[in-house]
Amino acid sequence: MGPWRRYIEDALQYAGGTHTFEDVQQQVTAGTLQFWPGASSAIVTEVLEYPRQKVVHVFLAGGTLHELERMYPLIFAWAREQGCTRATLLGRKGWERTFLARQGWTPRLVALERSIP
């Protein structure tokens, strides 16, 4: 994950302090997260199992938008093989105006957060 560290760390800035790069690296090694490297991009996914469906969740993505767009069909093919029927992601507002809309992603929920004193 070394050459892609910058993309992962950039994406982690929006993750609310839940993980460090080292945490992500450990979870990829353990198999609880999946690492998808590109030439100038990286995506990290996780498979979430709910009682009635399996979902591939895009946890982190960073790098070149054009390359990220080309990576999703490979990820979705893999996710189907794992039994996933949906894909989810949380991201900053600007993501909904990128290639994601062309690929059929639609805004459904709004993620809000605050600290608990």
What are the tens digits of pLDDT across the range 4-54? 999 999 999 988 889 999 999 999 999 999 999 999 999 999 999 999 999
Contact 111, 90 (CB under 8 A): yes
Residue 57 token pair? 């969740």
> Any idea which architecture 2-102 has in CATH?
3-Layer(aba) Sandwich (3.40)
How far is residue 80's CA from residue 77's CA, in Å, rounded to a whole number? 5
pLDDT for 104 equals 82
Q: So where are the chain's domains?
A: 2-102
Q: Exposed, middle or buried: residue 65 (CB in 10 Å: 0-12, 13-18, 19+)?
A: middle
CB atoms under 10 Å from CB of 36, counted, come to 19
What is the tens place of the pLDDT at every residue in 68-87?
Answer: 999 999 999 999 999 999 99
What is the tens place of the pLDDT at every residue in 47-60?
Answer: 999 999 999 999 99
Instruction: Tell me the whole-structure pTM to 2 decimals.
Output: 0.87
Contact 88, 54 (CB under 8 A): no
Contact 4, 40 (CB under 8 A): no
